[in-house]
């Protein structure tokens, strides 16, 4: 079993509680830890920079603090490599022991369209940006913003700047209108790192069928997420995750389906999928139900091929 997981908030917990040790072998208060990555053979874990809602005036400094923590506490000792390039990705996938970490940003509030700051984040290894969290910022409206507008002019220019820089784009959390603005503006395929299917569970954070078809058509990816209330309104279980996968497969999504756990961003969990050391049950169910290549695509292959295509060569 190989896993690539497209979203977790471990850095947020580590900022909030600096005593948390990502490499500790005991239960350390984190869902995602290095021993659990090993147990599930997570080859690449995405780590989101997600600022607390308590921060009312986000600044670049806040992002830099996360990036420093990531470099100091996740990728400093050689067991986990920061993935900045296709070379890094291939080295990790070839290696028997080395694992990878991809730094992402969830909510670009502090960037205010500043392209030098965008470049700075890129230089620090950030390779993907979700423009908004749930609410509005200078660039676009999030899915819980009552206005439900799309991208601003400045936000659309930011999409183009990301395309040119090679910064990948994440549409999870965007308003529906903003999603379609991104589909229109982005010259490169984009993804939804942690969203499920609205037709299966009608939560606003989930994607409707037209959005799913668009991501499939454009060569994007959809990270199925383990947030219980995005899986089912009652009794979320691994079976419920399978229903989302079946639905997206029925729309032709075998090459687009991936995983985006949202571990460390949730305070309730799906039974038998309660932390990053527990991917085995889900993998078992996928291999039982689907051809091997489909199961492998969901577990890691579709993230792998996307990153291999979209990351800079070196
Ligand atoms: Zn999120």
Distance 207 CA to ligand 1 centre (A): 14
Distance 291 CA to ligand 1 centre (A): 30
Q: Write out pLDDT tens, residues 87-132.
A: 999 999 999 999 999 999 999 999 999 999 999 999 999 999 999 9
CB 30 within 8 A of CB 69: no
Q: Please state the domain count of the chain.
A: 1
Distance 273 CA to ligand 1 centre (A): 18
- pTM value surpassing 0.95: yes
pLDDT in tens, the chain (314 residues): 999 999 999 999 999 999 999 999 877 799 999 999 999 999 999 999 999 999 999 999 999 999 999 999 999 999 999 999 999 999 999 999 999 999 999 999 999 999 999 999 999 999 999 999 999 999 999 999 999 999 999 999 999 999 999 999 999 999 999 999 999 999 999 999 999 999 999 999 999 999 999 999 999 999 999 999 999 998 999 999 999 999 999 999 999 999 999 999 999 999 999 999 999 999 999 999 999 999 999 999 999 999 999 999 98
Distance 193 CA to ligand 1 centre (A): 8
In this predicted structure, what is the pLDDT of residue 22?
97
In this predicted structure, what is the pLDDT of residue 242?
98
Distance 200 CA to ligand 1 centre (A): 19
User: What is the domain range of residue 264?
Assistant: 3-310
CB 158 within 8 A of CB 113: yes
Distance CA 33, CA 22 (A): 5
Distance 113 CA to ligand 1 centre (A): 21
Distance 103 CA to ligand 1 centre (A): 14
Q: Count of alpha carbons within 13 Å of 275, Cβ hemisphere only?
A: 15
Distances (CA, A) of 158 to 105, 144, 306: 14, 21, 21
In this predicted structure, what is the pLDDT of residue 26?
72
Which domain CATH number covers 149? 3.20.20.140
Instruction: Give the relative orientation of helices 115-123 and 60-73 as an angle to the nearest 10 degrees.
Output: 10
Nearest Cα neighbor of 44 from 314, 259, 278, 268 is 259
Distance 45 CA to ligand 1 centre (A): 15
Distance CA 314, CA 303 (A): 18
Distance 96 CA to ligand 1 centre (A): 31
């Amino acid at each position: 079993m190989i896993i690539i997981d497209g979203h977790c908030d471990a850095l947020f917990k580590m900022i909030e509680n600096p005593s948390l040790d990502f490499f500790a072998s005991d239960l350390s208060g984190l869902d995602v830890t290095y021993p659990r990555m090993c147990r599930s053979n997570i080859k690449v874990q995405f780590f989101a920079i997600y600022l607390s809602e308590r921060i009312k005036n986000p600044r670049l400094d806040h992002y830099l603090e996360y990036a420093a923590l990531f470099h100091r506490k996740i990728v400093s000792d050689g067991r986990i490599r920061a993935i900045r390039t296709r070379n890094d990705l291939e080295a990790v996938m070839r290696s028997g022991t080395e694992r990878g970490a991809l730094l992402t940003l969830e909510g670009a509030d502090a960037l205010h369209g500043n392209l030098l700051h965008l470049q700075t984040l890129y230089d620090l290894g950030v390779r993907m940006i979700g423009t908004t969290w749930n609410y509005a910022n200078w660039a676009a409206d999030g899915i819980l913003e009552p206005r439900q507008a799309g991208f601003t002019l400045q936000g659309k220019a930011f999409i183009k700047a990301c395309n040119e820089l090679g910064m990948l784009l994440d549409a999870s959390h965007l308003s529906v209108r903003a999603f379609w603005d991104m589909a229109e503006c982005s010259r490169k395929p984009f993804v939804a790192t942690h969203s499920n299917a609205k037709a299966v569970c009608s939560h606003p954070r989930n994607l409707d069928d037209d959005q799913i078809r668009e991501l499939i058509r454009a060569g994007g990816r959809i990270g199925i997420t383990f947030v219980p209330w995005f899986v089912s309104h009652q009794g979320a279980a691994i079976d419920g995750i399978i229903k989302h996968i079946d639905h997206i497969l029925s729309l032709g999504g075998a090459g687009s389906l991936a995983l985006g756990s949202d571990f460390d961003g949730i305070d309730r969990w799906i039974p038998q999928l309660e932390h990053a050391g527990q991917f085995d049950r889900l993998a078992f169910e996928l291999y039982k139900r689907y051809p091997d290549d489909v199961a492998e695509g969901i577990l890691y292959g579709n993230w792998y091929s996307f990153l291999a295509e979209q990351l800079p060569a070196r």
